[in-house]
């Protein structure tokens, strides 16, 4: 069982120490980690692990039941023994890009829900571009301009972005219809990690996000594509904060 230490509110930590609990030919499990394991449309963090006598690049990170596996490559020295202290170092630039992108996704999803009543059916974050699928909705070019403008107005107001673990009952009560697929989260998961943009959005989410909305920068919608009768895909990039 790996403690996911960036939860509830430590998305900015990129260096840490932990203890190896399981070591295989190509992965290391730690008792706790700040590395984000891929999921929920957000890619894994990259970085390095080092220990007494060795070092390795972390090429991807995946959850396996309760464990977080750090898949390693370019290993120098012997892999650590279980019980060894391991230092983790997350690629901070990539982490920051994902934090900004994932928070931008929350903003655009909220704007589309408020303005068009459409839910986020799926999303995929990358460091340099992201996409969100909405349904049921049919956008035209003017709608896209409006979504971009309203998203950037919200970002410019620069409210706090708070993350906290909240009782599931509260989350089910406060999450607006269409904002999150709560039914997809197994019943036993309680509390739930919530990302709240003060006065703007409340959404259960386990990804990494900025602490202050202005840090997102500017959203630029680069493409709109119809993905079926009532599904629209929006692609966007971010300009610097």
179 is a site residue for Zn ion (CB under 5 A) = no
Token pair 């070019």 is found at: 141
The span from the CA of 201 to the CA of 48, in Å, is 34
Closest by alpha carbon to 72, among 55, 56, 52?
56
Nearer to Zn ion, 54 or 122 (CB): 122
Task: Choose one: 18-26, 88-96, 182-190, 198-206; the region binding Zn ion (CB under 5 A).
Answer: 198-206
Task: Choose one: 50-58, 173-181, 207-215, 217-225; the region binding Zn ion (CB under 5 A).
Answer: 207-215
Number of residues binding to Zn ion, judged by CB under 5 A: 3
Smallest distance from the beta carbon of 80 to Zn ion, in angstroms?
Answer: 32
What is the DSSP annotation of 146-213? HHHHHHHHHHHH--BEEEEEE-HHHHHHHSPTTT--GGGS-TT--SEEEEEETTTEEEE--S---SBG
Phi/psi of residue 211, nearest 5 degrees: -95, -20
Smallest distance from the beta carbon of 109 to Zn ion, in angstroms?
Answer: 9
Enclosing H/E stretch for 217 = none
Residue with the CB atom nearest Zn ion in the bound state:
205
Nearer to Zn ion, 44 or 79 (CB): 44
Smallest distance from the beta carbon of 138 to Zn ion, in angstroms?
Answer: 26
Task: Choose one: 92-100, 180-188, 204-212, 226-234; the region binding Zn ion (CB under 5 A).
Answer: 204-212
Phi/psi of residue 83, nearest 5 degrees: 100, -15
Smallest distance from the beta carbon of 27 to Zn ion, in angstroms?
Answer: 25
HSE at residue 162, side-chain half, CA atoms within 13 A, is 10
43 is a site residue for Zn ion (CB under 5 A) = no
Nearer to Zn ion, 70 or 209 (CB): 209
Choose, by CB under 5 A, the member of 41, 47, 88, 207 that binds Zn ion.
207
Enclosing H/E stretch for 93 = helix 92-116
Task: Choose one: 69-77, 98-106, 127-135, 215-223; the region binding Zn ion (CB under 5 A).
Answer: 98-106
Closest by alpha carbon to 168, among 206, 207, 204, 209?
204
CA 69 vs. chain centroid, Å, equals 17
The span from the CA of 48 to the CA of 91, in Å, is 8
Choose, by CB under 5 A, the member of 95, 100, 102, 193 that binds Zn ion.
102
205 is a site residue for Zn ion (CB under 5 A) = yes
Smallest distance from the beta carbon of 76 to Zn ion, in angstroms?
Answer: 35
Nearer to Zn ion, 8 or 80 (CB): 8
Please give the residue ranges that form the binding site for Zn ion (CB under 5 A). 102, 205, 207
């Amino acid at each position: 069982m790996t403690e996911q230490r960036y939860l509830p509110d430590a998305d900015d930590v990129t260096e840490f120490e932990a203890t190896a609990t399981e070591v295989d030919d190509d992965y290391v499990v730690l008792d706790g980690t700040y590395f984000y394991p891929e999921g929920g449309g957000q890619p894994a963090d990259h970085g390095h692990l080092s220990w007494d006598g060795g070092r390795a690049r972390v090429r991807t990170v995946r959850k396996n039941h309760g464990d977080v596996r750090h898949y390693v490559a370019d290993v120098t020295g012997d892999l650590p023994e279980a019980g060894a202290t391991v230092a983790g170092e997350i690629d901070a630039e990539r982490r920051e890009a994902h934090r900004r992108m994932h928070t931008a996704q929350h903003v655009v999803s909220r704007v589309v829900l408020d303005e068009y009543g459409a839910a986020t059916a799926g999303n995929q974050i990358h460091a340099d571009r992201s996409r969100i699928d909405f349904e049921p909705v049919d956008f035209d070019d003017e709608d896209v301009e409006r979504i971009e403008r309203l998203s950037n107005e919200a970002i410019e107001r620069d409210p706090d972005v708070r993350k906290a673990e909240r009782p599931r009952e509260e989350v089910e009560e406060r999450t607006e219809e269409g904002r999150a697929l709560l039914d997809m989260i197994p019943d036993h998961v309680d509390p739930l990690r919530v990302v709240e943009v003060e006065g703007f959005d409340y959404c259960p989410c386990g990804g990494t996000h900025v602490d202050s909305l202005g840090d997102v920068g500017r959203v630029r919608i680069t493409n709109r594509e119809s993905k079926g009768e009532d599904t629209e895909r929006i692609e966007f990039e971010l300009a610097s904060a």
